[in-house]
Each structure stands twice: as structure tokens, then as C-alpha cells.
């Protein structure tokens, strides 16, 4: 009995909802239980009326006449209006109808005393019309007689006014109130009047209106959209003696939303009340129903069966609107992309760029903190020459190279920069140059040729043919000496591949396929042995001299044979230019200024020693013990030397140069911008298709991550299905169903954390390629959806959910499986985007993973299973509404158990209650699936938007 008491408490909680006043039920005379559902001798009932439908005038010889007749149980003159269509005249036709009672029929005799042929024809018309509705037509000595019978309608369809008696067969109601219960109904086309009886006592009455009858999918339905109910005085169901569930509150709030349904032969009947759905979610089932009414056969509405048509709920309408808007936007973007692609392919192909002469003066750079990194550096780099920027660590080499290449800097840049004498700003400079970073960031699974061709496809104009682009790739492979490894994988990130020197040349080749006029390289020999370093410098020398490119690079400490290939040398010390001029002239210049290079000593090492001494001061000892180490020279591009003694206050030239503030220098000019050569970059669709193709190759060639997700998904699905195998409809089965759904969502949530580490491997590559103008953030973002979210987040969730669904034994009738899968996949996508957003926002993988795990646990807490929603403090209750777990979990729970009937035995007492009561205690509404689906979709759209914005604004190169 304890279980029953718990159930009764639940029901009482539902019954005590709102007690607002509702309209009083109209006084209706209902039949007694012994009278309802019978037909008294229909032949003894008078024919009260006979309405001739207007379209019956087609039976007459005059189509313009309309007749109506009313027959009573006595001789009575009937006036039939005559309307002549031509003259519009009206005349009264006196027809006498004689009615007398026969043994089994009601006989109506029609005759006329008029001799006008019109009246005879009119009488004949009345006869024809009545005969169409009568059971028998006879000719009598006095004229013509028509017999019309009433019939007994025993079907559930109401013809005029039908009475019905139904005995209840609700297990829950029987458990609460064990005695006999029944419902009496009086129905017509538009109203249902009913009363519920228990133990031969009336409990409450309802008046339902705005009703309509229909036959849908072969089943009769009488649906009402409005109505009201009220309790009978001192009834058991309404707080009277013997009360267990007080329905006073729900009955007062009744406002319609009811439906009476049966099979067409009057079996399997059910009465559903919207206001009692929490207690009786499937309505009240009837053991049997008796129907009866006397009516003329002409009153049969002859309902035509139709197929059911699902009506959209407000949540469904909102979902359709959102989907339509997204579809329209997608079509607009797709159409614009197609148009741009067609336009780009019809543009002329620009010729390969030639090198330009770069001149810069008074280039200064300071950090927001005020620290000066560059101070008035001036020099030049000529086309067709190899220019090296040298200096010790921290001298400002990379900073100067970034400024010349137009990279986005955090601090303040000032000075003047010209290309072939035309002033440019950094943004325009970045469009005209190619930049190779110090670190090699390449996708390890691609071959050398695929890597270069990917760059060519996205950076060369759309108007170039595939053959031309492949020819450009072959040319770069030949120039850089990479033809022998063209089909070898690049390697890296723990994967075997080509050597370090070859990988560095591939990085250079990625930029060279665009045939840039200017090539900047940051430490191209860093981390390479002397042989590979020499090979890289030799390739750059050939590129500058043979192909007339402007090549500028930074180098720390080159070998002497490498130094011999430098055409121009810029030596930095402490952010200022120590020497700038031809490489071969450096020895003579140093000698003239008192700091000669020892015989047999590497000139590059000598210049580096001088730069270090200039930075540290004149009183530091040097290993080489050169007497004039306290001095250094500066050549500002014109060959004129200036000598500065670091301990001399009189020589103001060098000290003035070293002390010049970056803030006082003129900012980089933005007028007279040098424009890019004609030609249109590739369009959105080309970028997207190439990125998706590259990502799929990487996914296929590194199958460990994909196979791990798929295999674990299958294993976990089998594990969950095995643990909760065939959960039944008992109390423990309901617990298993709720627990299994929660566990499936938890598995999907935590497995999505792998998205953080997966993206971390590509993060810097994306930033590098985006800053170099290879592609935009949106195509890359969509490629991540196609090649990460779908195969690694959604597909494994589908496998796990499908296996567990059938093994656990969830409700698979109708569309329940489809509803389950839809919510599951949406949740998997939400968790994938959540982890991707964390990977974008937080650079450190460990920190991002920790935050992700905490976020998932936090959202799980408010899903509705671990803590009762009513127990959450008011100040924190709002958090449950932004929980990613809450809405999918509620939707999946009500989808599985909304119609489940719990059947169990507890302490010897039988329990037969709807599972909807358990869901109600968890705060779940069985009608909320559509709402949960819509909110889940909105959360997903919001996360997609947020992640895209983070990727666009957060992942930018900052130097």
C-alpha cells in the first residue's frame, strides 16, 4: 500500500494546482443510467419536421422552385411558396397533409383541391422529394401516400441528439476508487454534455462545446475545444466522504480541449480531458459503450473518413520559421558564391610578379608598455638580390621583418615604407608579399605535392586552369630541389616524413607557388644542420637572381659560404642599425673604422660580435680580445660610415640615432597605396571544397582518432544496452530508463572533449594560413563541421544511441525512434560545438579540457535527474534553463515514457499508474517534446554562431 500512497500523493499534488473560477455548467437534462444508450419505439415518435434540402429542386420540372414542408400529427394546411423565376411573382400553394398513425409506419397523405396544373406539378414535386427520404411510397384511392419511418441509431456518430452509457475501465481510477464508475453522455453535432458516476452517485458534470465530428484514420472522433465542469454536491471525487483524490481544483480550471473517440463499430472508446492529462495522460478508457437515438435516416451526417493531419504546435511553427530563415540565408550565400566563382573564372590571369625595390626609413616600433624595440632603422632591399637581416637574439630582426611584411603588430609602428618609390601601409604590404615563418606548420598527412597544390588552388586566381597550376607546382618543386620527395608525406607531430631541411623548403614552396614579387623569411635556417641550411640559402639565392625576386630574410649566425651569397646585409644591435650595405663591402668598411675582421675569421661572426658588444657596452671582455671592440659603425644605405664611441659624449650622431623615440617618428603613411596586380582571388566555394578535401584526406590517412571514436561508440552502446537490457514497465524499469538516458547523454558529453585536443593540432596552422591569405575563417569553420563535428561527434552518438535504444527496450512504436535520434544528434552537435568553442577561447589544452569537464558536470547537475528542480534555490533556478542537458533529457524521457503504464507489485499491493506521474515529479511535462526540440535547436544555432564569431575574431595573428 505504500506505493499506492505515494501515487495518491502525486495525484493530490496534481489535483491541487489552480483553483481559479470557471464558468458554471449549463443546466442540462441528462438521462438516467437505466435510460441512456437505448432507442424507445422510434415508430411512436411524431415526425416533427422534414426539411427539403435546396438542391432537391432538381427533381422537379421547374428548376426555379424551392419547396419546404412541415408535417404534424394532424390534418394541417401546408403553405408552399411559389416563386416564378421570370415574373418574380409569389403564390401560396394550399396543400393538405393528412397524417395518421399506422401500426408500423407514419403515413402522410398529400392531396390538393386545386385544379391548376401548377399545383398538381407542385404536389408531384413534393411527392418526389419526400419519396427520396421515405421508406415506402404508395398510391391510394384518395391520391398518393408517403410513409416515413424514424430509425434507431446505435453507432457512435451522433445524428441529431444521442444518449450514451459507458462503463469505465481505467486501471489507475480502479486502484484509487475500486467501485464501479461510468459516464453518461448526451451529444449532438456541436455539444457534449456528460456526467461521471461512481457507485451510482453523480460526481461531476461537464458541458463541452465548439465540437465537431470526424472519422480520421478509420476511427470516430468527437473533439471539443471549449467547455467547463463543476462538481456535484458532496461527491466523493470532489472532497466528499471517501475522498482519495480531490478533483475540485482541476475541474474548476477545465477549459475544453476534450475528445471522445471510438472505433466505427462503437468499441475501444476513450474520453480524453486536457485538464486531467497529468493524471490520465492517455484519457479514460471505457470497457463498453451503448449508444442510441431515434432519428430520420436523412439526419445521418454520413461522415467521410480522412487521413490524420498533424497540426503544428507553436514550437513546431517556430521551428519551421527558423529552418526557413536558415534555408533562405544558405541559398543566398550559395547563390552569391556561385555568381562570384563564375565572375572570378572569367577574369584575366595576372602575370607572375617581379621583384620590387624596398626602401624604408626611420622605422620605429614600441610596445604598449613603452618599451622600444626598433629605433629609427633605415635601409633598402633591391629586386633580384638576397638581403639578410642579422643580429644577436633580441636585436629586433623578426620585428623589423614583420613590419616590412605588413604583419599585424600589437604595438605602435612609425616610419616610411616604399615599394618601387610608392608609399604603402602595412595592410597593403601584406597583400603583395609572401611570408615564411620561423616554424614549419604543415599538415603531416599530405604529400609534398599535395601541400603545394593546395596552396596553389587557394592562392592562385580562379581564372588559371588546373594544368597551369600544376605546372606552377612542378616549377617550384624543381627550383627548391624537392622533385625526388614530391610524393612523400611531409610528416611531423610524431609522424615520419621528409627531413627538416626538405620540410623547410616545402614551407618556402607554399609561398613560392603564388610567384610573389617579394619573399620574406624568418630564420629559414633555424634548426637545420649546416648542409641543409646551405641548401636553403642556395635555393633563395637562385630565386632572387634567376627569377628576379626580392628576397629578405633573417639569419642568426650563418656560415662563411652562406654569407658569401648575401647581396645585402643589415646588422641590428639593440633595435638600431649597426651596419647596412653590401655583404662583400663589410670587411673593408670594418677595417676603415678600426674594427677589422681577423684574417680567416668568418665575417658574419665578426659582425655578430660587434653587435653584441654594442649592445652590452665597451667595458665587457670579448673572447676574441679585439682592441677596438668598443666601437661599431652604422651605414644608412648610402655607404657613408659613422663611427660612435660608446664612452664619448661629444659624438652625438650615434647616440642621437640610438636614443630616438619611436613615438616621435612619423607614422606609416596610408596614401598613394601600391595596388595589387589585376586578378580575383578564389571564391568561397573553392575554399570550402579544398578545405573539406584536405580535411578528409587527413582524417582517412590518420585513422586512429576516427576509428577510436567509432569503436568506442559501438562498445559503449553495447555496454549501456547490456547494463539496462530490456528495461520493463515496472518501477525499477522506469528507474533504469531514466538512468540509461542520462548515462547516454553523459557519455556523449565527455567524449566530445576530444574536440579540444583535435583542434589544438590545427590551431596555429589555421592562424598562419589565414594571416597569409590562403582562406577565410568561414570556409575553414564549415570544413570543421563537415570533417570533425559530423564524423567524430554526431556519427558516434548515432551508433551508441541506436544500439542502446533497441537493447534497452525504449518505446519504438510510431515515430519514437526518430524523435529519440533527432534529440540525441542535436545534443551531440551541441557538445561538439561547446568543446570547439572552448578550444578556440583557451589556448592551453589542459586548461580548456578542465574547463570543459567542469562545464559538462555543471550542466548535468541541472538536467532534472540528480536534483529536483523544485529544490533548486530561487537565486540559482535560472541556471537550469541554459543547461544543455535539460531539454534533450526531458524530451527523450517524455518520448519514451509519456504513454508508458507502470505495472508492478509493491508490498503486496498492485500498482498500475501512468509513468507520466513519475515524470511530473521530476518536473517534466509530457507535452513538452516539441518545446524541448525547439529550444535544443535554438541552443545549437546560438552555439554555432558563438563558435563562428570566436573563430573569426579570436584566432587572429598578433605579433
Closest CA to 887 of 936, 834, 923, 930: 936
Mean pLDDT of 678-699: 86
SS3 readout for 443-491 = CCCCEHHHHHHHHHHHHCCCCCCHHHHHHHHHHHHHHCCCHHHCCCECC
Q: Does residue 51 come out as left (phi exceeding 0), alpha (psi in the -120 to 50 range) or beta? A: beta
* DSSP character string of 236-257: GGGTSTT-SS--HHHHHT----
**What pLDDT does 947 receive?**
96
Most confident of 142-146, 148-152, 288-292, 519-523: 519-523
Looking up cell 541541472 gives 862
Beta bridge partners of 209: 226
Q: How confident is the model at residue 37 (pLDDT cuts 50, 70, 90)?
A: low
Distance of CA 607 to the CA centre of its chain: 60
Residue 257, C-beta contacts closer than 8 angstroms, at least 6 positions apart: 224, 225, 273, 274, 275
**What pLDDT does 617 receive?**
57
Q: Is the pLDDT of residue 169 over 70?
A: yes
Beta bridge partners of 910: 905
Closest CA to 298 of 42, 53, 45: 53
Mean pLDDT check: name the lowest of 149-153, 530-534, 737-741, 824-828.
Answer: 149-153
Share of residues in the chain with pLDDT > 70 (%): 76
Beta strand spans in 574-630 (E)? 576-582
Q: Is the pLDDT of residue 783 over 90?
A: yes
Determine the topology of domain 358-615 in CATH: Rossmann fold (3.40.50)
How far, in Å, are 721, 736, 744 from residue 718 at the CA level? Answer: 5, 15, 11
Which residue would you say has higher pLDDT here, 903 or 316? 903
Q: CA-to-CA distance for 859 and 820, rounded, in angstroms?
A: 20
Q: How confident is the model at residue 751 (pLDDT cuts 50, 70, 90)?
A: very high
Q: Which three cell numbers stand for residue 105?
A: 409506419
Looking up cell 610578379 gives 353
Which SS3 state, helix, strand or coil, does residue 214 take?
strand
Contact 706, 791 (CB under 8 A): yes
How far, in Å, are 407, 532, 557, 578, 616 from residue 392 at the CA level? Answer: 22, 22, 8, 12, 11
**What pLDDT does 819 receive?**
94
Contact 604, 636 (CB under 8 A): no
Closest CA to 738 of 923, 931, 930: 923
How far, in Å, are 9, 245, 272, 923 from residue 918 at the CA level? Answer: 12, 17, 20, 9
Which residue would you say has higher pLDDT here, 316 or 419? 419
Mean pLDDT check: name the lowest of 95-99, 107-111, 835-839, 897-901.
Answer: 95-99
User: Are β-strands 568-573 and 386-390 bridged in parallel, bridged antiparallel, or unpaired?
Assistant: parallel
Closest CA to 609 of 588, 579, 585, 636: 579
**What pLDDT does 663 receive?**
33
Q: How confident is the model at residue 307 (pLDDT cuts 50, 70, 90)?
A: low
Q: ∠445-447-453 over CA atoms, to 5°?
A: 115
Mean pLDDT of 25-37: 48
Closest CA to 519 of 533, 509, 529, 531: 509
**What pLDDT does 308 receive?**
59
Give the number of other Cβ atoms within 10 Å of residue 465's Cβ. Answer: 10
Average pLDDT value over all residues in the chain: 78
Q: CA-to-CA distance for 108 and 149, rounded, in angstroms?
A: 11
For the segment 833-844, what is each residue's pLDDT rounded down to a tens digit?
Answer: 999 999 999 999
Q: Which three cell numbers stand for residue 940?
A: 545549437
For the segment 702-740, what is each residue's pLDDT rounded down to a tens digit?
Answer: 888 899 999 999 999 999 999 999 999 898 999 999 999
Q: Is the pLDDT of residue 498 over 80?
A: yes
Beta bridge partners of 198: 181, 201
Mean pLDDT of 912-924: 82
Q: ∠485-487-490 over CA atoms, to 5°?
A: 70
| Overall pTM surpassing 0.75 (yes/no) | no
Residue 589, C-beta contacts closer than 8 angstroms, at least 6 positions apart: 579, 581, 633, 635, 641
Q: Which three cell numbers stand for residue 222?
A: 468527437
Mean pLDDT of 777-795: 95
For the segment 317-337, what is each residue's pLDDT rounded down to a tens digit?
Answer: 877 888 888 889 989 988 998
**What pLDDT does 869 receive?**
74
Q: Which three cell numbers stand for residue 435?
A: 611570408
Give kind and range of the element (H or E) at residue 386.
strand 386-390
Mean pLDDT check: name the lowest of 210-224, 419-433, 734-748.
Answer: 419-433
Domain ranges in the chain?
A: 150-296, 319-347, 358-615, 684-955
Contact 490, 519 (CB under 8 A): no
Looking up cell 681577423 gives 598
Q: CA-to-CA distance for 537 and 543, rounded, in angstroms?
A: 10
Q: How confident is the model at residue 685 (pLDDT cuts 50, 70, 90)?
A: very high
**What pLDDT does 144 receive?**
41
Give kind and range of the element (H or E) at residue 108.
strand 106-111
Mean pLDDT of 927-947: 92
Q: How many CA atoms lie within 13 A of 510 on its CB side?
A: 28
Contact 353, 383 (CB under 8 A): no
How far, in Å, are 355, 402, 850 from residue 430 at the CA level? Answer: 15, 10, 38
Closest CA to 301 of 382, 389, 190: 190
Contact 861, 878 (CB under 8 A): no
Q: What are phi and psi of 526, to 5 degrees?
A: -65, 130
For the segment 569-626, what is each residue's pLDDT rounded down to a tens digit?
Answer: 999 998 999 999 999 999 888 888 888 998 889 999 999 998 888 877 533 443 333 3
For the chain, how long is the longest CA-to-CA vector? 156
Q: Is the pLDDT of residue 146 over 80?
A: no
Q: How confident is the model at residue 36 (pLDDT cuts 50, 70, 90)?
A: low
Mean pLDDT of 401-405: 91
Signed CA dihedral, 516, 517, 518, 521: sign only: positive
Contact 350, 679 (CB under 8 A): yes
Mean pLDDT check: name the lowest of 241-255, 382-396, 398-412, 611-625.
Answer: 611-625
Contact 448, 526 (CB under 8 A): no
For the segment 787-798, what is each residue's pLDDT rounded down to a tens digit?
Answer: 999 999 999 999
Q: Is the pLDDT of residue 105 over 50?
A: no
**What pLDDT does 727 receive?**
92
Give the number of other Cβ atoms within 10 Å of residue 631's Cβ. Answer: 21
Q: How confident is the model at residue 855 (pLDDT cuts 50, 70, 90)?
A: very high
Closest CA to 79 of 71, 90, 69: 69
Contact 222, 192 (CB under 8 A): yes
User: Are β-strands 372-381 and 358-366 bridged in parallel, bridged antiparallel, or unpaired?
Assistant: antiparallel
Q: What are phi and psi of 602, to 5 degrees?
A: -65, 125
Q: Is the pLDDT of residue 133 over 70?
A: no
Q: Is the pLDDT of residue 872 over 70?
A: yes
Mean pLDDT of 644-669: 35
Amino acid at each position: 500500500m505504500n506505493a499506492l500512497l505515494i501515487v495518491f500523493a502525486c495525484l493530490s499534488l496534481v489535483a491541487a494546482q489552480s483553483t481559479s473560477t470557471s464558468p458554471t455548467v449549463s443546466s442540462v437534462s441528462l438521462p438516467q443510467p437505466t435510460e441512456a444508450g437505448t432507442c424507445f419505439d422510434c415508430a411512436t415518435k411524431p415526425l416533427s419536421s422534414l426539411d427539403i434540402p435546396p438542391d432537391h429542386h432538381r427533381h422537379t420540372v421547374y428548376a426555379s422552385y424551392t419547396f419546404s414542408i412541415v408535417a404534424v400529427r394532424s390534418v394541417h394546411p401546408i403553405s408552399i411558396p411559389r416563386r416564378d423565376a421570370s415574373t418574380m411573382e409569389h403564390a401560396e400553394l394550399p396543400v393538405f397533409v393528412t397524417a395518421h398513425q399506422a401500426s408500423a409506419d407514419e403515413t402522410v397523405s398529400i392531396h390538393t383541391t386545386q385544379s391548376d396544373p401548377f399545383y398538381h406539378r407542385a404536389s408531384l414535386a413534393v411527392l418526389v422529394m419526400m419519396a427520396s427520404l421515405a421508406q415506402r411510397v404508395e398510391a391510394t384511392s384518395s391520391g398518393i401516400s408517403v410513409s416515413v419511418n424514424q430509425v434507431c441509431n446505435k453507432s457512435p456518430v451522433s445524428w441529431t441528439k444521442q444518449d450514451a452509457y459507458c462503463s469505465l475501465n481505467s486501471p489507475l481510477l480502479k486502484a484509487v476508487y475500486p467501485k464501479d464508475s461510468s459516464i453518461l453522455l448526451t451529444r449532438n453535432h456541436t455539444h457534449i454534455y456528460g456526467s461521471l458516476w461512481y457507485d451510482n452517485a453523480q460526481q461531476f458534470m461537464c458541458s463541452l462545446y465548439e465540437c465537431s465530428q470526424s472519422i480520421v484514420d478509420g476511427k470516430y472522433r468527437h473533439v471539443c475545444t471549449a467547455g467547463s465542469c463543476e462538481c456535484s454536491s458532496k461527491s466523493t471525487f470532489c472532497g466528499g466522504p471517501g475522498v482519495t483524490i480531490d478533483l475540485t481544483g482541476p475541474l474548476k480550471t477545465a477549459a475544453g480541449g476534450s475528445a471522445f473517440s471510438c472505433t466505427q463499430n462503437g468499441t475501444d472508446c476513450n474520453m480524453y480531458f486536457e485538464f486531467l492529462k497529468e493524471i490520465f495522460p492517455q484519457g479514460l478508457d471505457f470497457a463498453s459503450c451503448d449508444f442510441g437515438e431515434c432519428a430520420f435516416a436523412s439526419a445521418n451526417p454520413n461522415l467521410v473518413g480522412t487521413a490524420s493531419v498533424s497540426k503544428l504546435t507553436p514550437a513546431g511553427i517556430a521551428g519551421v520559421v527558423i529552418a526557413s530563415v536558415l534555408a533562405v540565408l544558405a541559398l543566398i550565400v550559395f547563390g552569391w558564391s556561385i555568381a562570384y566563382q563564375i565572375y572570378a573564372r572569367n577574369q584575366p590571369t595576372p602575370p607572375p610578379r617581379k621583384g620590387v625595390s624596398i626602401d624604408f626609413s626611420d622605422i620605429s616600433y614600441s610596445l604598449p608598455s613603452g618599451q622600444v624595440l626598433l629605433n629609427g632603422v633605415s635601409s633598402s632591399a633591391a629586386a633580384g638580390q638576397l638581403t639578410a637581416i642579422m643580429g644577436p637574439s633580441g636585436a629586433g630582426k623578426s620585428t623589423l621583418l614583420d613590419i616590412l611584411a605588413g604583419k599585424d603588430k600589437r604595438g605602435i609602428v612609425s616610419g616610411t615604407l616604399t615599394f618601387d618609390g610608392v608609399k604603402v601601409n602595412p595592410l597593403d604590404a601584406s597583400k603583395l608579399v609572401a611570408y615564411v615563418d620561423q616554424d614549419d606548420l604543415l599538415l603531416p598527412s599530405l604529400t609534398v605535392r599535395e601541400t603545394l597544390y593546395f596552396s596553389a588552388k587557394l592562392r592562385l586566381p580562379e581564372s588559371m586552369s588546373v594544368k597551369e597550376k600544376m605546372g606552377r607546382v612542378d616549377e617550384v618543386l624543381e627550383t627548391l630541389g624537392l622533385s625526388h620527395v614530391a610524393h612523400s608525406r611531409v610528416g611531423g607531430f610524431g609522424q615520419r616524413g621528409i627531413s627538416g631541411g626538405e620540410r623547410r623548403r616545402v614551407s618556402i614552396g607554399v609561398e613560392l607557388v603564388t610567384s610573389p614579387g617579394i619573399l620574406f623569411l624568418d630564420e629559414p635556417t633555424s634548426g637545420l644542420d649546416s648542409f641543409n641550411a646551405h641548401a636553403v640559402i642556395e635555393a633563395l639565392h637562385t630565386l632572387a637572381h634567376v627569377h628576379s625576386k626580392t628576397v629578405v630574410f633573417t639569419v642568426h649566425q650563418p656560415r662563411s659560404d652562406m654569407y658569401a651569397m648575401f647581396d645585402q646585409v643589415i646588422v641590428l644591435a639593440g633595435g638600431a642599425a649597426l651596419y647596412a650595405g653590401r655583404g662583400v663591402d663589410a670587411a673593408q668598411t670594418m677595417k676603415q673604422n678600426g674594427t677589422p675582421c681577423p684574417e680567416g675569421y668568418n665575417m658574419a661572426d665578426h659582425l655578430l660580435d660587434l653587435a653584441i658588444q654594442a649592445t652590452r657596452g665597451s667595458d665587457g671582455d670579448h673572447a676574441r680580445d679585439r682592441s677596438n671592440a668598443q666601437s661599431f659603425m652604422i651605414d644608412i644605405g648610402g655607404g657613408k660610415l659613422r663611427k660612435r664611441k660608446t664612452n664619448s659624449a661629444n659624438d652625438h650622431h650615434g647616440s642621437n640615432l640610438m636614443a630616438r623615440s619611436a613615438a616621435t617618428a612619423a607614422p606609416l603613411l596610408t596614401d598613394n597605396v601600391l595596388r595589387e596586380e589585376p586578378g580575383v582571388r578564389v571564391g568561397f566555394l573553392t575554399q570550402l571544397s579544398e578545405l573539406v578535401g584536405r580535411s578528409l584526406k587527413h582524417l582517412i590517412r590518420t585513422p586512429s582518432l576516427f576509428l577510436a571514436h567509432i569503436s568506442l561508440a559501438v562498445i559503449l552502446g553495447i555496454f549501456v544496452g547490456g547494463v539496462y537490457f530490456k528495461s520493463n514497465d515496472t518501477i525499477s524499469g522506469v528507474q533504469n530508463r531514466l538512468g540509461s538516458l542520462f548515462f547516454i547523454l553523459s557519455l556523449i558529453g565527455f567524449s566530445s572533449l576530444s574536440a579540444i585536443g583535435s583542434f589544438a593540432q590545427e590551431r596555429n596552422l589555421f592562424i598562419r594560413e589565414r594571416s597569409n591569405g590562403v582562406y577565410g575563417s568561414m570556409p575553414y569553420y564549415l570544413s570543421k563541421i563537415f570533417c570533425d563535428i559530423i564524423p567524430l561527434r554526431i556519427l558516434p552518438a548515432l551508433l551508441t544511441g541506436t544500439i542502446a535504444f533497441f537493447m534497452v527496450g525504449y518505446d519504438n512504436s510510431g515515430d519514437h525512434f526518430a524523435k529519440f535520434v533527432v534529440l540525441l544528434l542535436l545534443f551531440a552537435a551541441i557538445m561538439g560545438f561547446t568543446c570547439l568553442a572552448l578550444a578556440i577561447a583557451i589556448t592551453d589544452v589542459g586548461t580548456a579540457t578542465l574547463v570543459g569537464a567542469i562545464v559538462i558536470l555543471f550542466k548535468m547537475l541541472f538536467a532534472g535527474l540528480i536534483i529536483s528542480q523544485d529544490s533548486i534555490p530561487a537565486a540559482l533556478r535560472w541556471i537550469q534553463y541554459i543547461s544543455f542537458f535539460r531539454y534533450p533529457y526531458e524530451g527523450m524521457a517524455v518520448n519514451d515514457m509519456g504513454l508508458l503504464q507502470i505495472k508492478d507489485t509493491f508490498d503486496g499491493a498492485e500498482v498500475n499508474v501512468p509513468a507520466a506521474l513519475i515524470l511530473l515529479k521530476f518536473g517534466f511535462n509530457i507535452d513538452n517534446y516539441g518545446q524541448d526540440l525547439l529550444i535544443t535547436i535554438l541552443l545549437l544555432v546560438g552555439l554555432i554562431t558563438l563558435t563562428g564569431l570566436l573563430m573569426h575574431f579570436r584566432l587572429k595573428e598578433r605579433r
